[in-house]
């Protein structure tokens, strides 16, 4: 038996409830989605910039691609955060 297995068990008993709390889980999911939320909102508030970005990457027609990107980034993030159709 390892000398500090009792310490490991005690630490796990203290930390596990904290890490498994719904608030911590939601904050972790928010961290996962933050870049996509920010990107979608930036594109939505600066639609000409989003179109320029699509043109930069050679996507044509740029308008529909920009709109689809905004919808996908925001909708997928909301689905993950709400738990609807989450993996």
Instruction: Print burial letters for 22-56: b (CB count within 10 Å at least 16), e (below 16).
Output: eeeeeeebeeebeebbebbeebbeeeeebbebbee
pLDDT given at position 13: 86
pLDDT in tens, 28-81: 999 999 999 999 999 999 999 999 999 999 999 999 999 999 999 999 999 999
């Amino acid at each position: 038996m390892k000398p500090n297995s009792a310490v490991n068990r005690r630490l796990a008993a203290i930390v596990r409830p904290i890490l498994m709390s719904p608030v911590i889980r939601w904050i972790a999911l928010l961290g996962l989605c933050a870049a996509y939320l920010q990107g979608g909102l930036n594109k939505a508030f600066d639609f000409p910039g989003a179109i320029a970005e699509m043109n930069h990457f050679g996507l044509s027609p740029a308008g529909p691609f920009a709109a689809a990107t905004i919808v996908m980034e925001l909708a997928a993030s909301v689905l993950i955060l709400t738990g609807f159709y989450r993996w």
